[in-house]
């Protein structure tokens, strides 16, 4: 019965007569596939997916020679929350400024730092069409990889958190005090249950500190400034995969420049001036200064530790720019694959460690209850 009514509703809403009426009657509803959902309440897309949609829009605007401001305003109406405000801010800055890259750089997190750098590089080197095409390909691959790697851990952590919120108060508020009263009636002295209740009492006494710490961590995880600080100053020191991924992105931009026949000296100068990573910027500055002093480009990249001597010999052995661009692109793919492998290994190590930590707490609670039952049986047997 419900399916028949939904079928009738879909036919009515998509009929030519009812489309204006439906847009006025249901302004908050959106259609995704065969189902309807409320856009104001349904969980939205990830930030990477929303940034990918903006890159596609800017690529279309560049290809069709369209003004990006009205397109960005229209895209903002399709989103909600923080990203909607960012898009509206970008549209206002596009209205005040004639430069797209200046508006993007003044609006943090509307696009990733690497995407903004790539657009800056493409606009100054005259390879913006190729840059957009490569950005769309790489962003789509990253979104698919993140979806497959993060779906199961997120579901596990959510289920575990909900189970802990329900079961722990039930055990500590109702079950453990009942067992303590039972032990007092039989004259038992069970240290495990007493320790368990003491730990719970200490946790509840300092509950405000726990809540403040959880809220602080949540705020740091959601704050754009803290994320940017972590990416620029902390991530490289903790995770080797982050620097590998940035180097791969650098190689992809250089491959576009080589394939288009642009001089690498100008490309290195642009990247050395505008790159957001301080370490890579210093290396690029070193390579650019050596190139200006007459050192060959590939040798300067070796001195800056951007490519290995083996890669230098391979690039120096060919003179065709298309072959060199292909080789640089392959180097970028290898480095990105190594970065993805490291990320997978880190997540594969962190997840079991967290499971062992939770399992140790569960085993401690089980041991406390088993010890109490054993002592109770012994006391009753005597």
Per residue in 152-188, pLDDT (tens digit) is: 566 777 777 788 778 888 887 887 777 777 777 777 7
pLDDT at 243 over 80: no
Q: What is the pLDDT averaged over residues 3-29?
A: 42
Cα atoms in the Cβ-side hemisphere of radius 13 Å centred on 347:
16
Q: With contact defined as beta carbons under 8 Å apart, do 132 and 52 qualify?
A: no
Q: How far is CA 178 from CA 165, 175, 185, 193, in A?
A: 20, 5, 11, 11
What count of residues does the chain have?
Answer: 382
- End-to-end Cα separation, the chain, in angstroms: 66
Of 232 and 140, more confident: 140
**Burial letters 122-148, b for 16+ CB under 10 A, else e:** bbbbebbebbbebbeebbeebbeeeee
**Burial letters 196-219, b for 16+ CB under 10 A, else e:** bbeebeeeeeeeeeeeeeeeeeee
Q: How many CB atoms lie within 10 A of CB 251?
A: 23
The DSSP line for 70-110 is HHHHHHHTT--HHHHHHHHHHHHHHHH-S-HHHHHHHSTTS
Q: How far apart are CA 365 and CA 175, in angstroms?
A: 12
Indicate the range of 12-21, 70-79, 235-244, 289-298 predicted with least confidence.
Answer: 12-21
Q: With contact defined as beta carbons under 8 Å apart, do 109 and 86 qualify?
A: yes
Q: How far apart are CA 140 and CA 48, in angstroms?
A: 9
Q: What is the pLDDT averaged over residues 259-283?
A: 85
List, in order of start, the domains of the chain with CATH numbers.
47-140 (1.20.81.30), 149-382 (no CATH)
Q: How far apart are CA 69 and CA 61, in angstroms?
A: 10
If pLDDT is split at 50, 70 and 90, which confidence band does 38 have? very low
Q: With contact defined as beta carbons under 8 Å apart, do 288 and 267 qualify?
A: no
pLDDT at 235 over 80: no
Q: With contact defined as beta carbons under 8 Å apart, do 316 and 283 qualify?
A: no
* pTM: predicted TM-score of the whole model, two decimal places: 0.69
Q: How far apart are CA 339 and CA 250, in angstroms?
A: 14
Of 219 and 84, more confident: 84
Tell me the pLDDT tens digit for each residue of 100-113. 888 888 888 888 88
pLDDT recorded at residue 151:
53
pLDDT at 42 over 70: no
pLDDT recorded at residue 194:
76
Q: With contact defined as beta carbons under 8 Å apart, do 304 and 231 qualify?
A: no
Q: How far apart are CA 346 and CA 48, in angstroms?
A: 21
Q: How far apart are CA 314 and CA 324, in angstroms?
A: 9
Q: How far apart are CA 8 and CA 6, in angstroms?
A: 5
Q: What is the pLDDT averaged over residues 259-266?
A: 84
């Amino acid at each position: 019965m419900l399916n028949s009514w939904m079928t009738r509703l879909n036919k009515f809403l998509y009929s030519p007569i009812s489309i204006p009426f439906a847009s006025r009657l249901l302004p908050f509803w959106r259609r995704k596939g065969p189902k309807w959902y409320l856009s104001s309440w349904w969980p939205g897309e990830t930030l990477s997916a929303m940034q990918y949609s903006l890159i596609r829009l800017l690529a279309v605007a560049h290809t069709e020679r369209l003004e990006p401001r009205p397109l960005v305003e229209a895209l903002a109406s399709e989103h909600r929350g923080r990203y909607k405000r960012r898009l509206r801010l970008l549209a206002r800055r596009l209205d005040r400024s004639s430069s797209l890259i200046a508006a993007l750089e003044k609006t943090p997190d509307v696009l990733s730092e690497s995407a903004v750098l790539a657009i800056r590089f493409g606009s100054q080197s005259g390879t913006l069409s190729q840059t957009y095409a490569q950005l769309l390909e790489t962003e789509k691959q990253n979104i698919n990889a993140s979806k497959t790697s993060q779906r199961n851990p997120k579901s596990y952590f959510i289920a575990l958190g909900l189970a802990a919120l329900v079961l722990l108060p039930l055990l500590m508020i109702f079950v453990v005090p009942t067992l303590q009263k039972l032990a007092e009636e039989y004259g038992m002295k069970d240290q495990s249950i007493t320790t368990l209740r003491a730990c719970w009492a200490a946790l509840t006494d300092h509950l405000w500190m726990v809540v403040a710490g959880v809220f602080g961590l949540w705020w740091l995880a959601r704050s754009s400034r803290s994320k940017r600080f972590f990416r620029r100053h902390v991530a490289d020191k903790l995770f080797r995969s982050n620097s590998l991924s940035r180097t791969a992105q650098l190689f992809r931009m250089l491959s576009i420049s080589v394939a288009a026949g642009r001089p690498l000296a100008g490309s290195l100068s642009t990247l050395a001036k505008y790159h957001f990573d301080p370490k890579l910027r210093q290396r690029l500055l070193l390579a650019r200064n050596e190139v200006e002093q007459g050192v060959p480009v590939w040798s300067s990249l070796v001195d800056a530790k951007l490519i290995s001597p083996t890669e230098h010999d391979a690039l120096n052995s060919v003179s065709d720019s298309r072959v060199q661009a292909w080789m640089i692109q392959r180097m970028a793919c290898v480095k990105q694959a190594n970065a993805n492998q490291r990320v997978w290994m880190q997540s594969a190590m962190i997840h079991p460690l967290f499971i062992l930590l939770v399992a140790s707490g569960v085993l401690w609670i089980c041991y406390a209850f088993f010890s109490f039952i054993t002592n109770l049986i012994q006391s009753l047997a005597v």
